[in-house]
Structure 1
Amino acid sequence: MSTIQTVSIPNLAWEIAADILFPPNFDSKKKYPAVVSAHPIGSCKEQTSGNIYGKAIAEEGFVVVAFDASFQGASGGLPRFIENPEFRVSDFRFVVDYLQTLPYVDPNAIGVLGICGGGGYAINAAMTDYRFKCCVGITPVNFGRLSREAFGNYDPASALEGMAKQRTLEVQGGERLVNNLLPPSVEDAKKVTSDIDVVEATEYYKTSRGQAPNGCTRGLYSFNSAALAWDAFNHAEVLLTKPFMAVIGDKPGGFGAYRDAQEIYGRAGTKEKQIVVLPGVSHYMLYDKPEATKPALEQVLPFLKKHLVESR
Structure 2
Amino acid sequence: MKSVSIKNFFSTIAADIYLPPDFDEAQTYPAIISAHPIGSCKEQTSGNVYGVGLALQGFVVVAFDASFQGESSGEPRHLENPSLRVEDFKAVVDYLITLPYVDNERIGALGICGGGGYAINATMTERRIKAVASITGVNIGRLMREAFSGNDPLPVLKEMSDQRTAEVLGAEPRIDVALPSSPEEAKRLGLTEIDVSEATEYYRTSRGQKPNGVNSWLFSYQAAAMGWDAYHLAEILLTQPLMVVVGNKVGAFGAYRDGYEIFGKAASKKKEIVEIAGWSHYDLYDKPEPTGLALEKVVPFFKANL
Class of the TM-score when normalised by the shorter of the 2 chains = over 0.9
Aligned to 1:110: 107
Q: TM-score, normalised by structure 2?
A: 0.99
8 Å CA contact retained: 2:11, 2:68:
no
| Distance (whole Å) between structure 1 residues aligned to residue 246 and residue 185 of structure 2 | 27
| Distance (whole Å) between structure 1 residues aligned to residue 277 and residue 53 of structure 2 | 22
- Paired AA for residue 203 in structure 1: E
Measured after TM superposition, the shift of residue 261 of structure 1 is 0.1
Gaps of 5+ in 2: none
Aligned ranges 1:8-157 → 2 under 5 Å = 8-157=5-154
| Distance (whole Å) between structure 1 residues aligned to residue 98 and residue 212 of structure 2 | 28
SS at match of 2:165: helix
Q: TM-score, normalised by structure 1?
A: 0.97
Aligned to 2:3: 6
Runs of 4+ in 1 over 2 A off after TM superposition: 190-194
Measured after TM superposition, the shift of residue 11 of structure 1 is 0.7
Measured after TM superposition, the shift of residue 192 of structure 1 is 2.6
- Paired AA for residue 54 in structure 2: I
SS at match of 2:185: helix
| Distance (whole Å) between structure 1 residues aligned to residue 12 and residue 56 of structure 2 | 27
Gaps of 5+ in 1: none
Aligned to 2:199: 201
Aligned ranges 1:163-178 → 2 under 5 Å = 163-178=160-175
Q: 1:180 aligns with which of 174, 177, 182?
A: 177
Percent of residue pairs bearing the same amino acid type: 60
Aligned to 2:299: 301
Measured after TM superposition, the shift of residue 12 of structure 1 is 1.2
| Distance (whole Å) between structure 2 residues aligned to residue 6 and residue 293 of structure 1 | 24
Aligned to 1:162: 159
Equivalent residue pairs, number: 305
- Paired AA for residue 231 in structure 1: D
SS at match of 1:7: strand
Aligned to 2:282: 284
TM-superposition CA deviations, 1:54-100 (whole Å, max 9, x none): 00100111100000000000000001000110111110000001001
SS at match of 2:235: helix
